[in-house]
């Protein structure tokens, strides 16, 4: 499907897809009945019903497989985006516990990386592409983390966790980019379109009556609805139902809040209870 088709509003896209299949189905049925005057015997009609059942079953399985595949790809992409946002927030929070200039620079670069994702890479992912600026920003974050020099035992204990989050950031980034490139293969499109045409075309041998015309139209509409779902969910980052960068924007907002306050506020240790001012009474001596 052309990328521009995914940018149409859902209502218009559904109207075009479903209306197109209804037009093909009913228009083909009426044209077939007009040009083909051959009367079909009862045995031929029974055979057509059997063929329709077989072809419709096979085509329904293909359409169901396509719908499940695009939905699974959508869920994988959404999970990758949320995982990357959580990793950005956790890495920024761990870096905020360092007081060095290198840690402050790493946090700033991490914020710049998140900003580039939202502003530059997200529009590129709608076209199934990645942003070179985002890759460069990620590499700068990795390099900055590599230059951290712990000075206390507490900072040294945090370094394995920081490196784990840094590698997790790369993992979720790659998963997000792979998901942005996901699309239904052209071969599968051809197979399901041909199978749908065969399903509808098998019903053309039934005589032209208002009931049969309505039945062909409903069959075409039901198949068109499945096609609409596949088209709407085919590209996770394109279209009205696309995944938004809201999780990463939320993590970025929290990072900016920490930056304004310098670092995350350290917890205040609990105050010791005040000593009682009432003088203790001496125990009375036994006679």
Could you report the per-residue pLDDT of 239-266, keeping only the tens digit for each?
778 899 999 999 988 887 765 555 444 4
Q: What is the average per-residue pLDDT within 46-74? A: 87
Q: What is the pLDDT of residue 231?
A: 87
Q: Is residue 166 pLDDT above 90, yes or no? A: yes
Q: Does residue 204 contact residue 95 with C-beta atoms inside 8 Å?
A: no
pLDDT in tens, 125-151: 888 788 899 999 999 999 999 988 888
Is residue 65 situated within a structural domain? yes
Instruction: List, in sequence order, the alpha helices (H) in 96-180.
Output: 101-116, 122-125, 132-146, 153-180
Count of the separate structural domains present in the chain: 1
Give domain status of residue 275, yes or no: no
Query: Confidence class of residue 38 from pLDDT cuts 50, 70 and 90?
Result: confident
How do residues 207-226 score in pLDDT, each as one tens digit? 888 999 999 999 999 999 99
Backbone angles phi, psi at 283, to 5 degrees: -65, 140
In a domain, 225, yes or no: yes
Q: What is the reported pLDDT for 206?
A: 85
Kindly state whether residue 251 falls inside one of the protein's structural domains. Answer: yes
Helix (H, G, I), strand (E, B) or coil at 278: coil
Number of neighbouring beta carbons within 10 Å of residue 272: 6
Helices 42-95 and 246-260: angle between axes, nearest 10 degrees: 10
**Dihedral sign (CA 101, 161, 168, 86):** negative
User: Binning pLDDT at 50, 70 and 90, where does residue 276 land?
Assistant: very low
What pLDDT is stored for residue 3 in this prediction? 65
Angle at 94 between CA 163 and CA 150, to 5 degrees: 65
Of the ranges 16-20, 60-64, 113-117, which one carries the lowest mean pLDDT score?
A: 60-64
With residue 2 as reference, give the H or E element that holds it. none
- Could you tell me which residue, 63 or 7, shows the higher pLDDT? 63
CA atoms within 13 A on the CB side of 268: 3
- As given in the structure block, the two tokens for residue 90 are 């956790």
| Residue 240 located in a structural domain | yes
Q: Environment class of residue 58 by beta-carbon count within 10 Å: exposed (0-12), middle (13-18) or buried (19+)?
A: middle
Q: Domain limits at 19? A: 3-260
pTM of the model: 0.76
Q: In this structure, is residue 273 part of a structural domain?
A: no
Where is pLDDT greater, at 123 or 268?
123
pLDDT per residue as tens digits for the range 177-208: 998 887 788 888 899 999 999 999 888 888 88
Decide if 287 is inside a domain.
Answer: no
pLDDT at residue number 2: 62
Instruction: Provide the pLDDT for residue 266.
Output: 45
| pLDDT in the model for residue 261 | 56
CB 219 within 8 A of CB 210: no
Q: What's the pLDDT score for residue 258?
A: 63
**How much is the pLDDT for 223?**
92
Please report whether residue 17 resides in a domain: yes
How much is the average pLDDT of 58-73? 89
- Residue 243: CA atoms inside 13 Å, Cβ hemisphere, count? 26
CB 139 within 8 Å of CB 107: no
Mean pLDDT of the chain: 84
């Amino acid at each position: 499907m052309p990328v521009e088709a995914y940018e149409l509003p859902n209502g218009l896209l559904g109207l075009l897809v479903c209306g197109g299949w209804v037009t093909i189905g009913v228009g083909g049925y009426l044209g077939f009945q007009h040009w083909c005057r051959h009367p079909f015997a009862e045995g031929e009609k029974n055979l057509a019903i059997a063929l329709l059942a077989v072809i419709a079953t096979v085509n329904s399985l293909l359409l169901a497989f396509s719908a499940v595949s695009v939905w699974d790809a959508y869920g994988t992409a959404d999970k990758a985006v949320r995982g990357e946002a959580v990793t950005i927030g956790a890495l920024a929070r761990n870096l905020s516990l360092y007081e060095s200039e290198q840690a402050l620079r790493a946090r700033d670069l991490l914020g710049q990386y998140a900003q580039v994702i939202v502003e530059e890479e997200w529009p590129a992912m709608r076209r199934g592409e990645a942003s070179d600026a985002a890759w460069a920003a990620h590499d700068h974050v990795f390099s900055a983390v590599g230059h951290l020099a712990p000075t206390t035992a507490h900072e040294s204990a945090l370094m394995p966790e920081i490196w784990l989050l840094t590698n997790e950031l790369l993992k979720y980034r790659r998963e997000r980019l792979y998901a942005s490139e996901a699309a239904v293969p052209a071969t599968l499109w051809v197979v399901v379109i041909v199978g749908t045409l065969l399903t509808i075309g098998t019903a053309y041998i039934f005589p032209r009556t208002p009931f049969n015309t309505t039945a062909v139209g409903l069959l075409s509409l039901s198949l068109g609805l499945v096609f609409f779902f596949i088209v709407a969910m085919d590209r996770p980052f394109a279209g009205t139902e696309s995944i938004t960068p809201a999780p990463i924007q939320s993590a970025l907002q929290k990072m900016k809040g920490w930056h304004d306050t310098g670092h995350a506020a350290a917890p205040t240790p609990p105050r010791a209870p005040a000593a009682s001012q009432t003088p203790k009474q001496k125990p009375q001596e036994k006679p």
